[in-house]
């Protein structure tokens, strides 16, 4: 990503959700709060407003739909499905006693804010690159959605160590059972950096550490729809893919890094579970949601 510009892919995720929730065949089944919160935050940012305006224009919308069909069919609905699954896992974690949620590379996702509003005892912390985080802070302030128990940390994690960033936060609690979320980010990192995150979060939260993240099936796998066109598109946006791992191998990878797998969910599984009435024409194949625990006792 560019150092001075908010993440283009973070805007694309929100635009995809708004498309799915407002214009797709599945729109009536998609939870309206997910879409309206996204619209609220996007409307408060010039680039976000531009993305919403593109969707309002039937011609631009048609072009975006064609682009989706050509590059990654079903990706708009995928953004909704992955967010719904992560939200479900986060609520379960809170019910199971998690006291703190840390979102890495949060983009314009509003889950931490929603959880902070719903659970006043919860400490929520988001970290994102300053170029994105500062924009998001402005939007959250404009929408009057700022929460005392939700801190936005603007740090470049390629320049500052995650452990230092969190230990320097006045709000981070090292003795709290913690859920870490990293959605749509790890595939841009090198494997050694993914392993480092696993080591660091386990050390940061010795009382219990759950990690919910998304991972990408290898591009050549039958379980991934991505073609050459998409890879070229991502490279042109300076957000090339690095870490990919088959869902068949994720348990072994996690075990090697001292985590235990709770489960993985692809779009077909999430759709069946959370949107059972929806029978989409295209379901995305490639990115899947993983939940794992970093200690023998559940967080």
Ligand X SMILES: C[S@@+](CC[C@H](N)C(=O)[O-])C[C@H]1O[C@@H](n2cnc3c(N)ncnc32)[C@H](O)[C@@H]1O
Among 16, 21, 74, 107, indicate the residue that binds ligand X (CB under 6 A): 107
Q: Are 1 and 239 in contact (CB under 8 A)?
A: yes
d(CA 153, CA 134): 9
The one segment of 18-26, 28-36, 153-161, 288-296 that binds ligand X by CB under 6 A:
153-161
Least gap, CB of 66 to ligand X (angstroms): 22
Q: Is residue 105 within the footprint of ligand X (CB under 6 A)? A: yes
Among 99, 109, 126, 151, indicate the residue that binds ligand X (CB under 6 A): 109
Residues of this chain, 118-147, that bind ligand X according to CB under 6 A: 128-129, 132
Q: Strand 123-128 vs strand 150-154: parallel, antiparallel, or unpaired?
A: parallel
Q: 3: Cβ–Cβ under 8 A, 6 or more apart, which residues? A: 129, 131, 156
Among 40, 54, 91, 156, indicate the residue that binds ligand X (CB under 6 A): 156
Least gap, CB of 21 to ligand X (angstroms): 14
Neighbours of 119 (CB within 10 A): 17
Check residue 66 and report its DSSP letter: H
Q: What is the DSSP string of 265-298?
A: E-HHHHHHHH-TT---S----SEEEEEEESSSS-
Continuous segment of H or E residues that includes residue 178: strand 178-182
Least gap, CB of 133 to ligand X (angstroms): 7
Tokens (6 digits) for 170? 């006045």
Q: Is residue 153 within the footprint of ligand X (CB under 6 A)? A: no
Q: At what angle do helices 8-22 and 46-56 cross, to 10 degrees?
A: 40
Least gap, CB of 89 to ligand X (angstroms): 14
The one segment of 154-162, 192-200, 203-211, 223-231 that binds ligand X by CB under 6 A:
154-162
Residues of this chain, 175-214, that bind ligand X according to CB under 6 A: 183-185
Least gap, CB of 87 to ligand X (angstroms): 12
Q: Is residue 158 within the footprint of ligand X (CB under 6 A)? A: yes
Tokens (6 digits) for 292? 């794992």
Site for ligand X, rule CB under 6 A = 1, 7, 9-10, 13, 105-107, 109, 128-129, 132, 156-158, 183-185
């Amino acid at each position: 990503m560019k150092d001075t510009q908010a993440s283009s892919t973070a805007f694309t995720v929100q635009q995809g959700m708004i498309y799915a929730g407002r214009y797709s065949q599945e729109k009536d089944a998609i939870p309206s709060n997910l879409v309206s919160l996204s619209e609220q935050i996007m409307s408060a940012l010039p680039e976000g407003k531009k993305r919403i305006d593109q969707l309002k224009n039937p011609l631009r919308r048609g072009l975006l739909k064609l682009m989706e069909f050509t590059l990654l069919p079903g990706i708009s609905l995928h953004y909704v499905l992955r967010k719904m699954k992560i939200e479900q896992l986060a609520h379960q974690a809170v019910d199971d006693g998690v006291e703190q949620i840390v979102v890495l590379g949060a983009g314009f996702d509003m889950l931490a804010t929603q959880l902070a509003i719903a659970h006043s005892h919860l400490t929520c912390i988001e970290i994102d690159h300053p170029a994105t985080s500062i924009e998001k802070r402005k939007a959250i302030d404009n929408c009057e959605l700022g929460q005392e128990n939700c801190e936005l940390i603007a740090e470049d994690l390629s320049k500052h160590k995650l452990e230092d960033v969190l230990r320097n936060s006045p709000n981070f609690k090292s003795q709290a059972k913690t859920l870490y979320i990293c959605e749509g980010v790890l595939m841009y990192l090198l494997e050694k950096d993914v392993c480092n995150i696993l080591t660091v979060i386990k050390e940061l939260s010795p009382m219990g550490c759950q990690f919910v993240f998304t991972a990408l099936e290898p591009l050549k796998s039958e379980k991934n729809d991505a073609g050459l066109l998409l890879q070229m598109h991502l490279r042109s946006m300076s957000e090339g893919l690095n870490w990919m791992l088959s869902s068949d191998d994720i348990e072994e990878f996690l075990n090697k890094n001292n985590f235990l797998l709770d489960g993985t969910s692809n779009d077909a599984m999430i759709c069946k579970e959370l949107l059972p009435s929806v029978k989409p024409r295209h379901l995305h194949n490639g990115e899947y949601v993983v939940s794992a625990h970093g200690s023998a006792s559940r967080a």
